[in-house]
Structure formats: C-alpha cells, structure tokens
Amino acid sequence: MAEYAKLYIGGSWVDPVGTERLDVIDSTTEDAFATIPAGAAADIDRAVAAAESAFGSWSAVAPADRAGHLRQVAARLKARREEIADIETREIGMPRPLSAAMQVEMGIRAFATAADVAETFPFEDRGDNWVLREPIGVVGAITPWNYPLNQIGAKVAYALAAGCTVVLKPSEVAPLSAFVLAEIIDECGFTAGAFNLVTGVGPVVGEALAAHPDVDMVSFTGSNGAGRRVAELAGPTVKRVALELGGKSPNVILDDADLPTAVAGGVASAFLNSGQTCSALTRMIVPRAHLAEVERLARSAAESFTVGDPFDARTRLGPLISAVQRDRVRGYIVRGLAEGARLITGGAEAPDGLDRGYFVRPTVFSDVTPDMTIAREEIFGPVLVIIAYDTEDEAVEIANDTVYGLAAGVSGSEQRAHRVARRIRAGQVRVNGERPSWDAPFGGYKQSGLGREHGRYGLEEFLEVKAVFAA
C-alpha cells in the first residue's frame, strides 16, 4: 500500500489540515493500493494564497525561461514513463502498452508543446494598436480520471507557460500521476507557489477552488452536471471559466467509404480506454443500404477486443474505473434492449471468467433510432450504437441532433467527406481516420463546453488582452 501523506503547497510538501484519507482502488482487482489526503477547504485557502503570492514573480519570468522549466518537466516525466504507466494502468484499467503510449505520452507532449508555444507566442503586438497579452492570474485546475496526466498537462502546462500560477485538484479516483508531477516540479526550480497540489473530493476541495474569490480562472474537465456546478460557483466572482465536458460524437460513414477500414476504425475509437473517452465516436451513422455489412464488420471488430487484466499482453479492453461506472454502463445496455435496440454483440452480463474487477463486455447495438436513450446520452463505456440513414442530408441531421458537439468523424471520398465535415457542429472532425496533431485546439460546441485546450488556442485561454495607448 502506497501512502501519500502530504499536499504540495508553496513549494513544499505540507501536512493537510485534517487527517481523513481516501483510498485509490485498483480497477482490476477492486483492492485499494494507495491512499491520499482528503483535503479541506482550508487547504485550498492555503494553496490559493501561495499561488497568489507567487504570481508576481512567476509571471515576470521570461517566456523562454518558463519554456525551459516546462521542458525539464517533460524530460523528467519521460524518465519516469514506465512508473507512471504502471500507476495509470492500475487506476483506470487501460491496457499497459496503451497507458505508456497514450496516457503518459500525451502528458509529456502537453508540457513539451506548451514550451514550444510559449517561446513563439506574440505576447506583445505593436501593430496598429499596442496590445499586450498577459497571464490572467491564479488558475484553479480541476481534472478528471479518464486521462489523468494528459488532462493535467492540458491545463497546468499551458497555464504555467502563460505565466499563471496554478492550484491543481486532480480526480480523487486517479490522483497518483499528479503526485509524480508535483515531485518533478519540485525538482525543476519553479518559483515556490507557482504550482500547488491539493487532493480531495469535488464537493469539498473542488467547490472551494471554483468559488474562491482569489482564483482568477477555473478550468474544469468532467461531466456536464459537475461543469454546470463549477460555472455556478464561479459566477459570483465573475471569474473566467473553461469547461471541457461530455460528448456523444457521431461517426458518419458515407456510401463511398472504404467500409472495412472505416468500421474497424470507428469501433476502435468507440472502445478506446474501455469507452471512457469524451471524444469517442460512439454513434456510427451508416447508409441503410450497407447496414448488414456494417453490422457484420462491427461485430467482428468488437469481438476482437479481448477483455481482461490490463497487464496481460493479450488484453485489448481493460476494466472501467469503478463499480459505479461499471453498473451505470450495464444499466444503459439494459435500457437499450428495453427501448428496442437490437444487440449485435456484447451485453450487460459480466465477461466470462471476470466476476472480479469493473469489466463490461464490448457491446454493439443496431436498429437504433436517434430518440433512444443510448443514442442521446453519454454512456462512457464500451458501447457503440449504429444508426442508419437514407440521404447525406439525413446523415448530417442525425449527426447534429445532439446537445453535444465535441468531436466527429467522417469517412468517404475526399470531396464529399470534407463537405460533410464542414456541416457538422463539433470542435474536431476526423476525416478518414486522420489523427489530431499535438497542438490542435481541443474543445466543443454546445454543451460540450467552453474554450479550447492545447496549442496556441490553449495558451490563449489563460491570457488577458490589454490595449495600451501611449504617445
């Protein structure tokens, strides 16, 4: 049992004000394998005060020097890559090779890319007007459990690159990579208080951070309900709010697409990280004339996802994060059947031989209509729905018939796919499986959130714009 006893505040490891502890659970065994402090509102007060005190010094550090600090972080994260991959595999259940290649690598890339952006960003523009872009101040970062280090990097790296100081509240379900990051930052010579770490539960430390009057901005990733609560708490102090929330992303397959490639890629997207990906392409929208072939291909692809221990090299689909999430996903599968969807493969029963651990069968539904619950609500598990269409206009209408707008996919001939991509209301659209670059803006339309992360657009979220008029 690993015990993390202290919080990182003001450049030092300090005792929390209380003694309550939280268990971190191995999603495969259901056993606790670490404990962390359950912070209190008073701990947030201390961390915000430290960040506020450090802001003047850290914001005055030249962008190139801030970039240098971030590159040190990236290098040290890389040196501890295998350790972090083991941690995140135990916490969230992603197969171990993917944890190293995605979970850890995306976090490393966030710090390295933020450094690159900071070195080249025009913080001062002497064009027609004299315009300064200055750090907004103290940032409260509240991050989720599904991609822990990546989401921390998307907020912390770019806020620090902008010259802001940060108080991080990671998910209490998957917090351990945040402790590794704090250890690394402590080694890299940052201004004391530029980065602070407080762990605990959302209703206590998360809400205290969002509401704190000395926090200038809160950046949150998580569920829509929690995002609305963060915005509500931030409202009285009119602080800036950035929200990266849910998705029910469409994957439009046109009738001239390469069906085997498009369907296999779509299933892989839907099941990535056991479906616990906000941008997963979970609605496969296909030509009615090709429905039977798509069903056959989707079933074959889904059944190739071997479920099991994420440390087993044969495993392609690990457990979900928790018993609550497992039961929630199984409940959606039951509801899909009750509402008339046709099960192609999978189901609500535990996978064979896996009664322990938070496992769900890779599941595909067809005969799904846009009004069904499984077509409208974010399931956040390995569940794919197939919806048939008759015309391109109908496909676009179905794609946009959602309160979300985070991501989308389109497969088909280049001209047609580009045309459809322009018509879909989403923050990212992948054409023929093209992957986003590391500095591409990430964020959504509609109820998928406010603002963008990564690259230049991610840096700009943490900046104020000042016009100066001088003789």
Any domain includes 373: yes
H-helix or E-strand spanning residue 342: strand 342-345
Query: pLDDT tens digits for 35-51?
Result: 999 999 999 999 999 99
Q: What is the pLDDT of residue 471?
A: 78
For the question of residue 244 being annotated catalytic, the response is yes
% of the chain exceeding 70 in pLDDT: 100
Same domain, 209 and 277: no
Query: pLDDT tens digits for 329-381?
Result: 999 999 999 999 999 999 999 999 999 999 999 999 999 999 999 999 999 99
Q: Which long-range contacts (CB under 8 A, 24 or more apart) does 420-429 make?
A: 420/252, 420/254, 420/392, 420/395, 420/396, 423/396, 424/250, 424/252, 424/396, 424/399, 424/400, 425/400, 426/249, 426/250, 427/452, 428/279
In Å, how far are 62, 191, 193 from 58, measured between CA atoms?
A: 9, 6, 9
Contact status, residue 169 vs residue 208, Cβ threshold 8 Å: no
Same domain, 259 and 212: no
In angstroms, rounded to a whole number, what is the distance separating the alpha carbons of residues 236 and 422? 37
For the question of residue 164 being annotated catalytic, the response is no
Q: Which of 88, 105, 207, 244 is catalytic?
A: 244
Q: What is the pLDDT of residue 206?
A: 98
Average pLDDT, the chain: 97
Same domain, 170 and 96: yes
Query: pLDDT tens digits for 101-115?
Result: 999 999 999 999 999
Domain boundary among 245, 269, 292: 245
What is the domain-level CATH number for residue 226? 3.40.605.10
Any domain includes 430: yes
% of the chain exceeding 90 in pLDDT: 99
Query: pLDDT tens digits for 9-21?
Result: 999 999 999 999 9
Residue 202 reports pLDDT greater than 90: yes
Any domain includes 456: no
Any domain includes 450: no
Q: Which of 278, 378, 453, 461 is catalytic?
A: 278
Any domain includes 298: yes
Q: How many domains does the chain have?
A: 2
Query: pLDDT tens digits for 410-448?
Result: 999 999 999 999 999 999 999 999 999 999 999 999 999
Q: pTM of the prediction?
A: 0.97
Domain boundary among 245, 276, 292: 245
Same domain, 116 and 229: yes
In Å, how far are 31, 339, 452 from 380, measured between CA atoms?
A: 22, 19, 21
Any domain includes 455: no
Q: What is the pLDDT of residue 183?
A: 98
Q: What is the pLDDT of residue 110?
A: 98
Query: If pLDDT is split at 50, 70 and 90, which confidence band does 388 have?
Result: very high
In angstroms, rounded to a whole number, what is the distance separating the alpha carbons of residues 83 and 14? 24
H-helix or E-strand spanning residue 407: strand 407-411
In angstroms, rounded to a whole number, what is the distance separating the alpha carbons of residues 266 and 253? 9
Same domain, 161 and 287: no
**Taking residues 396-407, what's their average pLDDT?**
98
Same domain, 254 and 241: no
Query: pLDDT tens digits for 229-277?
Result: 999 999 999 999 999 999 999 999 999 999 999 999 999 999 999 999 9
Contact status, residue 436 vs residue 430, Cβ threshold 8 Å: yes
Domain boundary among 230, 245, 260: 245
Contact status, residue 176 vs residue 87, Cβ threshold 8 Å: yes
Any domain includes 34: yes
What is the domain-level CATH number for residue 278? 3.40.309.10
In angstroms, rounded to a whole number, what is the distance separating the alpha carbons of residues 68 and 55? 18
Q: What is the pLDDT of residue 351?
A: 97
Q: What is the extent of the structural domain holding 31? A: 2-245
Same domain, 22 and 162: yes
Query: pLDDT tens digits for 335-344?
Result: 999 999 999 9
Query: pLDDT tens digits for 275-314?
Result: 999 999 999 999 999 999 999 999 999 999 999 999 999 9
Same domain, 124 and 261: no
Same domain, 320 and 429: yes
Same domain, 199 and 233: yes
Same domain, 215 and 273: no
Query: pLDDT tens digits for 55-70?
Result: 999 999 999 999 999 9
> Which structure tokens are listed for 316?
């392609």
Same domain, 379 and 357: yes
Q: What is the pLDDT of residue 172?
A: 98
Rg of the chain over all Cα atoms, to the nearest angstrom: 22
Q: What is the pLDDT of residue 421?
A: 98
